[in-house]
């Protein structure tokens, strides 16, 4: 029994199993969730939602239906991944500020360009747009695409929608998969179809030639693309960055005043970034960088964006526009990564490759469509020819029917000429009946034929219908047999879609000069830096400090002078140095609370502790002493810390070591080291050698195996300094002088 159990245990490498499982998961997210198919430009959730709406009969010419009904039906039949993802996809497909060609007609609150969310699905309603029904769903009954089982194999769903327009380019797409992401900008429908027609006529056409027909992205929010010369490389490789600016115009007011009006925004700004943009402008005004702006108002509505900046009289509008482009997201970057699913695999595609796959798909759809139509017309011709022949021998057919005992005998006579079980009026009729050879389909149609079809006009109509059927068969066979004929049909379909749904371009494409904005340098002046024990920092002018010197020194942990144009540097126990521009700190009244210093730098008070702070001007002219908990010391020249970076490594630390003190020195001080076990060591700072900031340093005090430094004190030779030790006062300069790298003395009080 044990042997049998052992044989059932499969031994495998855990890392191999994890790798396989993760790859399976990643591919599932990539193919089944996050990336669009190159053929119809839709993600699975979008495709399933549109197909479900079509199946439910929520067409463009019928009443709206509750979104909750659509979402529930889609989730139950095709997409068992939660209602929020389905509803979000439905909402996005209806938003004209996100999609160049909305595919869903939403009724109710479907969100706004400013980032407001849509109402709950129980309140909103939707139906298909006309273009969706005509260009994505109308040919589903003609066997143009494969249908696959749904998740529980109780329904069938299309593997791809028969899209007649290049939706991947028209509406674009964005999605984050596992290890990859797609970001495709929307384009103008008319221009994309023109480019597709040009590629269809000449597959060797260059990307540059295609961009003459389709100059670049056409964002629903308008704006100006300013790096036109970079677009050919972006569309050739499928990757790159498109720079987009908002559109600003100057409006004249009474009294010679002017106002700046933003009428179009960069596409990446839609949503919460509009609010951030307004806050950024307010911050520029508060920091005195844009004092000419007297009021900011967002007058945007359903008609479009309108953000108004009222200006002082005589304001330099051109300089202010440049400031907005330079200092806010009014000029932004759209990262292009045209990643899509091709034959079940993710691929980064250039413009020509996307058009190539689109055209191939159109040929496949057209071939399957006209094969289905041809089969139907051939079946119709067969029936029509049978009925026409039947009209010529209708008296004989009636005699067969009257002489038959059942429909089986009558049908056998019509198809095979079997007359054994039928009574005829004459042998001549029987002989004629034995020569009948109708097909199965023709015989069924004859038996189901109504008597009114024998009216003369009906027979003429049948003849005309047959002539039209023969004409259709000839046309369909021509399309299927001749490549040029099929190409004409595809071009005709594309032109019909272009004529019905194309619109004017909204986004301008140009080569704009780099924005040049000369920021007025603030008047240089000395200020006092104040930071309390809670980390709230600010700067005040010197006269204010002198008037409140006693209170300022008592209430703040760090107080020192610096230049308002200089930088404040923070040394932490992790061995890092963080730099902050003094101009970034709030400057104002003494009683202002200040702002946490964490807000202005990479310093995180929850993860690291301050061990020293000062101004860059002071530090670079002096020497710095570093003391670590592991007892290591070094002196570093302050000029080594001159940097423009926000965070740098200030010193090298041993394993699990931490900086205890980082402070400037004159070189003549006395240094006292105190260990956790109560040992004190006093010696002159001049004994500490000068090192580079990348060095660990030298040992300052010999520590026991479990001991570490608790504190380090500096005092000028000849002065007296006392500390509190075990609830008593200890005078440091009365300690016995020692030498660096010794144990020191244990103090018992």
Any bridge partners for residue 559, and if so which? 530
* 263 HSE (CA, 13 A, CB side): 12
- Angle formed by the axes of helices 456-481 and 351-392, nearest 10°: 150
How many whole angstroms separate alpha carbon 323 and alpha carbon 314?
A: 17
Question: Dihedral of CA 641/644/646/648: which sign?
Answer: negative
How many whole angstroms separate alpha carbon 218 and alpha carbon 221?
A: 8
Contacts of 422 (CB under 8 A, 6+ apart): 400, 403, 404, 409, 410, 413, 430, 433
Which of the following is catalytic: 22, 78, 123, 558? 123
Contacts of 705 (CB under 8 A, 6+ apart): none
The residue count for the chain: 749
C-alpha dihedral (719, 724, 730, 731), degrees to nearest 10: 0
Contacts of 618 (CB under 8 A, 6+ apart): 560, 562, 664
φ, ψ for residue 694, nearest 5 deg = -85, 0
How many whole angstroms separate alpha carbon 212 and alpha carbon 196?
A: 12
Contacts of 33 (CB under 8 A, 6+ apart): 43, 44, 45, 81, 175, 177
How remote is the C-alpha of 464 from its chain's centroid?
57
How many whole angstroms separate alpha carbon 330 and alpha carbon 264?
A: 9
* DSSP strand pairing (508-509 vs 224-225): parallel
How remote is the C-alpha of 433 from its chain's centroid?
74
Q: What DSSP character marks residue 644?
A: S
Could you write out the DSSP letters of every residue in 622-637? SEEEEEETTSEEEEEE
Angle at 331 between CA 330 and CA 332, to 5 degrees: 110
3-state secondary structure of 472: helix
Contact between 329 and 143 under an 8 Å Cβ cutoff? The reply is no
Is residue 123 annotated as a catalytic residue, yes or no? Answer: yes
How many whole angstroms separate alpha carbon 450 and alpha carbon 406?
A: 18
Contact between 574 and 528 under an 8 Å Cβ cutoff? The reply is no
Contact between 104 and 128 under an 8 Å Cβ cutoff? The reply is yes
Q: Where are the alpha helices (DSSP H) in 502-564?
A: 542-547, 549-555
Contact between 156 and 145 under an 8 Å Cβ cutoff? The reply is no
Neighbours of 741 (CB within 10 A): 15
How many whole angstroms separate alpha carbon 132 and alpha carbon 449?
A: 39
How many whole angstroms separate alpha carbon 91 and alpha carbon 271?
A: 14
Neighbours of 642 (CB within 10 A): 11
* DSSP strand pairing (147-149 vs 156-158): antiparallel
- Angle formed by the axes of helices 44-55 and 67-77, nearest 10°: 110
Catalytic center residues: 123
């Amino acid at each position: 029994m044990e042997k049998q159990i052992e044989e059932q245990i499969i031994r495998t490498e855990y890392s191999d199993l994890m790798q396989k499982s993760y790859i399976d998961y990643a591919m599932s997210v990539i193919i089944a969730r996050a990336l669009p198919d190159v053929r119809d430009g839709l993600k699975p959730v979008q495709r399933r939602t549109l197909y479900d709406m079509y199946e439910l009969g929520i067409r463009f010419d019928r009443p709206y239906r509750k979104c909750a009904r659509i979402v529930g039906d889609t989730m139950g039949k095709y997409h068992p991944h939660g209602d929020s993802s389905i509803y979000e996809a439905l909402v996005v497909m209806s938003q004209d500020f996100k999609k160049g060609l909305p595919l869903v007609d939403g009724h109710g609150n479907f969100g706004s360009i400013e980032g407001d969310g849509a109402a709950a699905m129980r309140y909103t309603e939707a139906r298909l747009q006309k273009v969706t029904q005509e260009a994505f769903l109308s040919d589903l009954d003609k066997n143009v695409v494969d249908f696959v089982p749904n998740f529980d194999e109780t329904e069938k769903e299309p593997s791809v929608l028969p899209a007649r327009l290049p939706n991947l380019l028209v509406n674009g797409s964005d999605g984050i998969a596992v290890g990859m992401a797609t970001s495709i900008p929307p384009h103008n429908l008319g221009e994309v179809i023109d480019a597709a027609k040009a590629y269809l006529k000449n597959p060797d056409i260059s990307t540059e030639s295609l961009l003459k027909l389709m100059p670049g992205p056409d964002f629903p929010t308008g704006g100006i693309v300013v790096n036109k010369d970079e677009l050919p490389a972006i569309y050739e490789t499928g990757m790159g960055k498109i720079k987009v600016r908002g559109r600003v115009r100057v409006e004249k007011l009474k009294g010679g005043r002017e106002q700046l009006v933003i009428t179009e925004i960069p596409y990446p700004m839609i949503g919460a970034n509009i609010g951030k943009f307004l806050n950024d402008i307010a911050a520029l005004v508060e920091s005195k960088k844009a004092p000419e702006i007297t009021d900011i108002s967002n007058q945007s509505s359903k008609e479009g964006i309108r953000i108004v900046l009222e200006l002082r009289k005589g304001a330099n509008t051109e300089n202010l526009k440049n400031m907005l482009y330079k200092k806010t997201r009014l000029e932004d970057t759209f990262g292009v990564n045209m990643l899509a699913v091709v034959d079940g695999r993710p691929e980064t595609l250039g413009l020509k490759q996307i058009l190539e796959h689109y055209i191939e798909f159109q040929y496949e759809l057209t071939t399957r469509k006209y094969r289905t139509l041809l089969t139907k017309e051939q079946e119709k011709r067969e029936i029509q020819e049978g009925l026409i022949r039947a009209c010529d021998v209708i008296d004989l057919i009636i005699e067969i029917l009257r002489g038959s005992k059942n429909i089986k005998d009558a049908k056998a006579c019509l198809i095979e000429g079997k007359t054994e079980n039928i009574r005829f009026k004459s042998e001549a009729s029987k002989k004629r009946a034995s020569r009948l050879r109708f097909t199965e389909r023709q015989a069924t149609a004859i038996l189901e034929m109504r008597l009114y079809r024998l009216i003369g006009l009906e027979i003429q109509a049948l003849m005309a219908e047959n002539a039209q059927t023969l004409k259709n068969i000839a046309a369909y066979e021509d399309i299927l047999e001749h490549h040029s004929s099929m190409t004409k049909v595809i071009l005709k379909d594309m032109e019909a879609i272009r004529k019905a749904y194309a619109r004017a371009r909204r986004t301008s494409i140009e080569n704009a000069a780099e924005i040049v904005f000369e920021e007025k340098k603030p008047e240089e002046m000395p200020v006092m830096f104040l930071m309390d024990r809670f980390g709230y920092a600010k700067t005040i002018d010197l006269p204010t400090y002198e008037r409140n010197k006693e209170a300022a020194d008592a209430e703040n942990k760090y107080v020192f002078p610096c230049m308002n144009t200089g930088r404040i540097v923070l040394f932490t126990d992790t061995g890092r140095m963080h730099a902050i521009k003094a101009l970034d700190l709030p400057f104002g009244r003494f009683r202002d609370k200040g702002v946490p210093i964490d807000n202005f730098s990479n310093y995180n008070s929850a993860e690291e502790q301050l061990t020293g702070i000062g101004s860059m001007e002071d530090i670079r002219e002096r020497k710095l002493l570093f003391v670590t908990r592991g007892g290591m010391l070094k002196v570093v020249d302050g000029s080594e810390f001159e940097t423009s970076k926000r965070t740098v490594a200030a010193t090298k630390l041993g394993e699990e070591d931490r900086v205890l003190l980082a402070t400037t020195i004159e070189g003549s001080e006395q240094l006292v080291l105190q260990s956790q076990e109560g040992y004190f060591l006093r010696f002159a700072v001049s004994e500490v050698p000068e090192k580079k900031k990348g060095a660990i340093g030298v040992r300052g005090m010999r520590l026991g195996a479990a001991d570490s430094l608790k504190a380090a004190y500096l005092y000028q030779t000849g002065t007296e300094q006392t500390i509190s030790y075990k609830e008593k006062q200890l005078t440091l300069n009365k300690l016995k002088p020692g030498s660096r790298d010794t144990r020191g003395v244990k103090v018992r009080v």
